[in-house]
Structure 1
């Protein structure tokens, strides 16, 4: 489903910038080490071109894994709440949702489920300050709208 099919779509604001910067630094550092690997011939170790390429590729793979932390998203609509943290999305129907909360000292919000379970909402983060407050208000409004329909 497209984002337009949902009532709200929430994404973190500041953390993707940190994630992109960290991934860039990791990739550049590994590529630089790979390029500079054969410059010092007096080290006693013989490095080959395959070693250089391997180090650069390891850095690129690590950077790609780090980039997964820029993916968090929460979408809410008639179908329920779709939560995507680092890995794939998970659709949670309204009938299972008890509420949303932002525990004191937590880094991100959480979706409270039945049986005292919860799902972290990495898309709503403390570092976003007022945007996080606005996101929680919007999510609670959508929850109020659909929770009444789920119980009826």
Structure 2
């Protein structure tokens, strides 16, 4: 008999899933890039005021891109799930989510939806913290399954 896969303990809602380590790295690198690029622009004496401003603007732009990359999250609440990706935000009812997938090699979780589409949920991604992402995917899957049982 194969060993039983332990069902994750359902957390109290609301719960937010996000790649915290990846987010910390992105924000730290973003602040460091902004500081270094801005400092270089201010230290170089041969630059005109416009060129100095362009260095600061470039640092701010790099920080903004990394801030955008750190945005993804999945928020599970009593009323449904909100998926925040890089530039989009989508609110789903529990009944709309049929399946939560995180297959080997996937960069993030995919949600199979009742309309026949699949929605990437970048808030759960195995990049730096693979075990954490697997645990989060299992927890979200258990929440979806529990909500499906309650709606029947």
Instruction: Quickly name the TM-score band, shorter chain normalised.
Output: 0.7 to 0.9
**1:85 alignment partner in structure 2:** 85
CA RMSD after TM alignment: 2.1
Equivalent runs, 1:10-21 vs 2, <5 Å: 10-21=17-28
Number of residues paired by the alignment?
140
Matches within 5 A, 1:1-152: 6-39=13-46, 47-126=47-126, 127-150=128-151, 152=152
Q: Which structure 2 segments of 5+ residues have no match?
A: 1-11
Unmatched segments (≥5 aa) in structure 1: 40-46
- Contact in 2 for aligned 1:6/1:75 (Cα 8 Å): no
- Distance between the aligned counterparts of 1:76 and 1:20, measured in 2? 24
TM-score after normalising by structure 1: 0.79
Deviations 1:10-57 (A, max 9, x none): 121310122013212321232133124433xxxxxxx42122112212
Using structure 2 for the length normalisation, give the TM-score: 0.79
